[in-house]
Chains A and B, each alone.
Chain A
Amino acid sequence: MSDARTDIFARIREALKVKAPKPHLKAQTSSPKTSVAAKPWLPDGGETAEDSLLILAEQLAKLKAVLIRVPDHASAAKAFAELATTKSWKKVAYHGHELTRPLAATLTCEAWEADASFDKQKLEGSDAGLTTCESIVAQLGSILVSSRSSGGRALSVLPHVHVVIAEASQVVPDLGAALALVKARHGTDMPSMLSFITGPSRTGDIERILVLGAHGPKELFLILVG
């Protein structure tokens, strides 16, 4: 008896002997690259960096994510410390990185570097997770985190609040640009997880009524420097 893999490939090859017509398109697409071809049809991500920042701010507001724009890293640390005080955090987990450490250092509550001594139970008991990100997509208000930029897989999703610290230069116009950047940066050695986070966790499963914080963070803050 042949194995399942061989059988399935044989079935596929047999099935594809007859060609299928193309879908009923509005117009033929010519560019081989999807993101390039589709860019003028998808939601706008802005032509200039300034446009993109405006679109990003608008998208984040609609998603009920909070954007905190600060001029420099010192102000970022101050804003983060204020957030921790206002929200009365007792325990904050953070991803060890040059952008996050100065912020964590300003905290008066407990702060621990999650990727240095990972403990899932401790992470579950943390009020907030502080991470960096790979890039930010203006078009959709998405923040791309990865297991490398964000202290593994759980840090950006298990604590009740997720705070991202990033620089304005990390904002890219659209999803196509973010994916291209991922390929350029990581090539064939991708982080084991890359996640586009678009607003705080949500569900509409009960009567299609929007509730934030289904399983992931109820609140999402983006501190953007510059």
Chain B
Amino acid sequence: MDNSKAIFLKEATVNAADGVQRAFISKALGGYYTNRDLQKARYRDWERARDAASMAKWSAVNDLANVLEKFVNNFERNGGVVHWARDAAEARDIILKIAENAKAKAIVKSKCMTSEEIHLNDALEKAGFGVVESDLGEFIQQLRGEAPYHFVFPCMHVKREAISELFTKHLGTAPTDSPEELTMIARRHLRQLYVDADIGITGANFLVAETGQISITENEGNARLTAALPRIHIALSGIEKVVNELDDLSVLLPMLATAGAGQPMTCYNTLYSGPRKKGECDGPEEFHIVLLDNARTRLLADPEQRDALHCIRCGACLNVCPIFKNIGGLAYGTTYQGPIGSVITPHLRGLKQWNHLSGASSLCGACTDACPVRIDLHHHLLHNRRNAAKESPTLFDRVFHNGFNFVIKRPWLFATGGRIFRATLPLLQKLPLPYMGAWMKTRDLPKAPAQSFRDQWKHDHV
């Protein structure tokens, strides 16, 4: 068994059996559902707003070369520097080089999942650069030495007592059970870091081709500070984040906030065009953007699943996913958790190693309904399963399904097989059979009837 699958099964088994932790996650999401529904109700037609949002992304992604080119030209015209990275290693090298040239002493980062994807912090630390995450959740996860649990709510699984202990250990603060006081501890600790840092690293939620601006969505103000005070601002973004027009944000920004966090808008939605301009009193002297492919073009080359590149990383699909809620975000072992992660990780990191995530779904479709940009998420899990079966079929599946096919093609054999199955069911239930045993561990089966439907129908109608 592949390592990633073995780890997934182990983690998922442990977490799914942890009723206390599951209830904690469920409770944490309770407020989100209420707020989301309140905000959605303010939309005069949420479904048609979804149409507009999905078309804004569709039209950019399906014309990516032109739209990206336009963005880059305008970004450069605004005084920014564009860097291109085919993969994670190239992106890391580019950022390290900027840091080396700047002789950076301190780097402050705001939340950026793309940087998690390329393991940027490890690379910076190995090269001797101190880097601090400024988003509260990311800061907590950095102190814990753990990957984000949820790509929007990074530490939603951590209880306040654990955070208090963590702060006591690393920051020497007095224990407290107040979320407010804990937040203020982080606030006080990070403030001077913004002032002292040479480089600020952020992500980007949207790249606006029309104006060459990047748009960053956040709630805490840490991205604002990261892009305001350090001398150099580096933004790291996937190439798919581009949109055609500034106007597209009139739909995308509110929907991102409502779908992802149950807010009308997140607290700060900021557009940056270039470094500090003439006549401006602050802001960075240099503004770099690193545009990352890292297998996104592989997903782009699959027209069936190309819409997965519409993703605006709102996290709505995670918030409604019963798999996510029951196994937790860390079990996935991926940068992007939940349904969107299960869809794209096989493309980004290999189908053979990551197809188990597509299998680990009841295909309930709650994710697809929640997606503000109409990504056909749960059907893509089916597409991944199909592609995996074609690429590297497992022997068990082949034997099982071909055998099943042999039976269902022959109604007489199906009827006979069914009769034997029903007759032996009490015995089968006791045997440690693959599937049957797994079922019987937690669930009963109905008592098998003496006659099948077809038997009774024949009896009644002849």
Contacts and interface: CB of A to CB of B under 8 A. Distances in A.
A–B proximity contact (CB within 8 A): yes
B270 A176 contact: no
Given A29-B55, A141-B264, A192-B277, A34 B43 contact: no
Interface stretch (A46-54, A71-79, A100-108, A114-122): A114-122
Interface stretch (B112-120, B124-132, B214-222, B389-397): B214-222
Contact-residue size bin, chain A (C-beta under 8 Å from the other chain): 35 or more
A205 to B, nearest CB: 4
Interface in B160-212: 160, 163, 179-180, 182-184, 186-187, 190-192, 194-195, 211
B273 A192 contact: yes
Interface stretch (A37-45, A80-88, A163-171): A37-45
A119 B18 CA distance: 52
B271 interface: yes
A62 B254 CA distance: 16
A7 interface: yes
Contacts of A20: 58, 61-62, 303-304, 306-307
Interface string A6-19: 01110111111011
B136 A205 contact: yes
B104 interface: no
Given A41-B48, A193-B270, A198-B267, A7 B86 contact: yes
B282 interface: yes
Interface in A117-138: 118, 120-121, 124
By secondary structure, the A interface counts as loop
B293 A8 contact: yes
Contact of A152 (B49, B140, B265, B280): B280
B273 A179 contact: no
A206 B182 contact: yes
A19 B303 CA distance: 6
A19 B62 contact: yes
A9 B67 CA distance: 11
A224 interface: no
Tell me which of B46, B47, B246, B306 has the highest count of chain A C-beta atoms within 10 A of its own C-beta.
B246
A173 B216 CA distance: 22
A8 to B, nearest CB: 5
Interface stretch (B148-156, B326-334, B437-445): B148-156
Contact of A190 (B68, B195, B273): B273
B460 to A, nearest CB: 43
A34 B245 contact: yes
A4 B86 contact: yes
Interface string B269-287: 1111111110111110000
Interface stretch (B223-231, B415-423, B450-458): B223-231
B56 interface: yes
Interface in A135-165: 139-142, 147-148, 151-154, 157-158
B44 A41 contact: yes
Contacts of B32: 208
B267 A201 contact: yes
Contact of A42 (B31, B49, B267): B49
Interface in A176-190: 176, 179-180, 182-183, 188, 190
A206 B77 CA distance: 41
A82 B61 CA distance: 52
B407 interface: no
A183 B246 contact: yes
B64 interface: yes
A128 to B, nearest CB: 15
Contact of A27 (B48, B65, B239): B48
- Size range of the interface on B? 35 or more
Given A34-B247, A153-B282, A196-B268, A41 B49 contact: yes
A26 B49 CA distance: 10
B15 interface: no
A158 B303 contact: no
B250 interface: yes
A198 B272 contact: no
Nearest to B258: A43
Given A192-B272, A205-B135, A15 B251 contact: no
A23 B54 contact: yes
B2 interface: no
Contact of A15 (B69, B86, B268, B300): B300
Contacts of B186: 214
Given A23-B374, A29-B52, A202 B267 contact: yes
Nearest to A174: B250
Contacts of B298: 15
Interface in B12-43: 28-29, 31-32, 39, 42-43
Contacts of B44: 40-44
Contacts of A124: 191-192, 195
Contact of A211 (B43, B63, B183, B191): B183
B47 to A, nearest CB: 4
A193 B250 contact: no
Interface of A: 3-5, 7-9, 11-16, 18-29, 33-35, 37-38, 40-44, 59, 62-63, 114-116, 118, 120-121, 124, 139-142, 147-148, 151-154, 157-158, 174-176, 179-180, 182-183, 188, 190-209, 211, 213-217
12 contacts: A15-B301, A35-B250, A42-B44, A121-B195, A152-B228, A158-B194, A193-B271, A194-B213, A203-B220, A206-B160, A215-B221, A216-B222
